[in-house]
Amino acid sequence: MKGFASLAALCALANPAFAHTIFQELYVNGVDQGHLTGIRVPDYDGPITDVTSNDVICNGGINPYHQPISQAIINVPAGSPVTAEFHHTLAGADPSDSADPVDPSHKGPVMAYLAKVNNATDMTVTGLQWFKIWEDGMDSSQVWGVDRMIANKGKVTFSIPNCIEAGQYLLRVEMIALHGASSYPGAQLYMECAQLQITGGGSTKPATVSFPGAYSGTDPGIKINIYQKLPSYTIPGQSRSADPTSRSTNGSSSGPSVFSCNGPSAPAPSTSAPSPPSIPVTPVSTPVSTPTGAAGTVAHYGQCGGLT
């Protein structure tokens, strides 16, 4: 183990392009669910570069899964914040490793998708329908989602939508490194899938995309030279409107949620104009423990029938 770690460190020094990463731990409402628990992790931390390969679904193809594959299914109340944690190797956090959680040469977006499944431990993942619930791209200072993930010691936090149906899901958390992406194949895709049981929720069925299929080698977010001043970056996959055909939207791409329970892909509310935050929302028998603050939160609960 020690020898392996030193070798990995040497490789990282010699060629940062070989210093990769693995999503390997999940926290629900801040509670650690256990190292490698409920996540299909490969032993090797290398990327997938062929966006048409089935390996882009949940990895595990050219990077075979660590055995035994965890049979745990992580319980997540809909609406909960979850934190995905990446590290350079399956050994986990290593403050002495300058390439942990990933080598800083690796610039690009971080994203999270969900797919509803009958059985979260079923290893067949082809044909699933995915919806993006979170993305962190590039801000106007050309600071990337991966830069923020590194600054946060490998952790990214987002919420499970509170209006989606209860049931078992795969949570696909993905980081794309663009340091070699000026030609295709070149972008490095790193993804793993966590096995979830989502409880509560509602009845909203988000618009979905397929993997492979959601990305193409000519996408502006996949084939891109990042060694220049970029006015914007188009994150691949579903756009904010959850409409795969309208992904050419410009502007800041570091916002929180792509599929939003009160967004365009949710059932149309009876009132068309969004209420300004300062106007009190009509009470909709929300639980006493409903978080306060964001007006959008109230709208989520109202729209989802208060089942959370």
Ligand X SMILES: *[C@@H]1O[C@H](CO)[C@@H](O)[C@H](O)[C@H]1NC(C)=O
The yes or no reply on residue 66 touching Cu ion (CB under 5 A) is no
For residues 20 and 107, which CB has a smaller minimum distance to Cu ion in the complex? 20
The yes or no reply on residue 245 touching ligand X (CB under 6 A) is no
Q: In the complex, what is the shortest distance from the CB of residue 249 to ligand X, in angstroms, rounded to a whole number?
A: 7
The yes or no reply on residue 252 touching ligand X (CB under 6 A) is no
Residue type at 122 in one-letter notation? D
Residue 147 backbone dihedrals phi, psi, to 5 degrees: -60, -40
Considering only 20, 223, 247, 300, the residue that binds Cu ion (CB under 5 A) is 20
The yes or no reply on residue 107 touching Cu ion (CB under 5 A) is no
For residues 118 and 271, which CB has a smaller minimum distance to ligand X in the complex? 118
Q: CA nearest 114: which of 137, 88, 80?
A: 80
The yes or no reply on residue 95 touching ligand X (CB under 6 A) is no
Residue appearing with tokens 């995915």: 130
Q: Cα 254 from chain centroid?
A: 13
Tokens of 91: 């050994």
Q: In the complex, what is the shortest distance from the CB of residue 18 to Cu ion, in angstroms, rounded to a whole number?
A: 6
CB atoms within 10 A of CB 274: 11
Considering only 141, 250, 278, 292, the residue that binds ligand X (CB under 6 A) is 250
User: What's the CA gap between 201 and 63, in Å, rounded?
Assistant: 34
The yes or no reply on residue 289 touching ligand X (CB under 6 A) is no
DSSP 17: G
Residues of span 118-177 touching ligand X by CB under 6 A: 119, 121-122
Considering only 232, 275, 286, 290, the residue that binds ligand X (CB under 6 A) is 232
Considering only 127, 231, 276, 280, the residue that binds ligand X (CB under 6 A) is 231
Considering only 248, 271, 272, 278, the residue that binds ligand X (CB under 6 A) is 248
User: What are the distances in angstroms from CA 142 to CA 26, 102, 108, 137, 239?
Assistant: 28, 18, 10, 9, 19
User: What's the CA gap between 202 and 129, in Å, rounded?
Assistant: 18
Residue 119 binding: pick among ligand X, Cu ion, none (C-beta 5-8 Å cut-off by kind): ligand X
Cβ proximity of 145 and 21 under 8 Å: no
CB atoms within 10 A of CB 96: 7
User: What are the distances in angstroms from CA 303 to CA 78, 256, 257, 270, 306?
Assistant: 14, 19, 17, 10, 8
Q: In the complex, what is the shortest distance from the CB of residue 73 to ligand X, in angstroms, rounded to a whole number?
A: 9
Residue span binding ligand X (CB under 6 A) among the ranges 117-125, 155-163, 194-202, 282-290: 117-125
Residue 20 binding: pick among ligand X, Cu ion, none (C-beta 5-8 Å cut-off by kind): Cu ion
Cβ proximity of 19 and 13 under 8 Å: no
Q: In the complex, what is the shortest distance from the CB of residue 247 to ligand X, in angstroms, rounded to a whole number?
A: 10
Site residues for ligand X per CB under 6 A: 119, 121-122, 231-232, 248, 250
Site residues for Cu ion per CB under 5 A: 20
